[in-house]
Amino acid sequence: MLVTALGVLSLVLGTVIAWYALRSLVVVPKLLRADVTPPADIEPDNSFVVCRGTATATDDAVASPFTGTRCVGFEFAVSERQPGPLPPWFVASIDDGVSSIPFRLSGQAGDIDVNPPSRRFSLDTNATVIKAGSNETPPKRTQQFVEKHDRLNPVAGWISMIPGMGTRRYVERRIDPNEEYLIAGQTAQRNGKTELTGNLVITNKSLRQFVLSRLKRAAFPALVATFFVAVGGALLLV
């Protein structure tokens, strides 16, 4: 009975980890089949396209959460080192989010509007990482963000008492104006103009670099998932 329960638990855990690993690869086959198209050549035919150009703000830029940098979009994540079921610790996600404004992607012969949905775009750019120990105060701008969000409660007292635990990482990725980006998404037409929208993928890497980074990111979780599934299967066959 106990062996069966452990087998089922291992299979479920492996499946969850596999889903986490593979979800970031869903867009990869589309990217590999697509050609990079200049913004001026994109048609509003509701097709999946990949284009490269320079981001240009069409409205007032927004301030990023941890550095206050003016940008047209950002993604943030806050994690905390906590004691875990497997020694010595694990990194727990305690907050994340995205925000953006419509902007324009400009090429040599023209441009296209980009309208990222409020919670449906993937940002793969260089990250700014700020670390703060359990008894340390992060920089002023980051601390102001922390104080405005109820989800970012102080590190639990019992965690901060454990050496090395409670360290938080504040990770910020941005879409900076006047920088070049590769953007993949669906085309649409609004007010007579073509725009990119939907589940956008936005990166400052080349197409090849982006695909390789996604594969590398998925490799370790996929390996862990395979281990748990194999163990679960073996336990159920005992």
pLDDT tens for each residue of 180-237: 999 998 888 887 788 888 888 899 998 888 888 888 888 887 888 888 888 778 777 7
Query: For the residues 73-100, what does the mean pLDDT come to?
Result: 83
Gap between the Cα atoms of 27 and 207, Å rounded: 12
Average pLDDT, the chain: 85
Angle among Cα 126, 129, 132 to the nearest 5 degrees reads 180
Q: Is the pTM of this model over 0.75?
A: yes
Given a cut of 90, whether residue 76 has pLDDT beyond it is yes
Gap between the Cα atoms of 158 and 2, Å rounded: 32
Cβ-contact 225, 22 below 8 angstroms = no
Per-residue pLDDT, 175: 94
The token duo for 11 is 């299979």
Given a cut of 70, whether residue 86 has pLDDT beyond it is no
Of the listed ranges 6-20, 88-102, 164-178, the one predicted with least confidence: 6-20
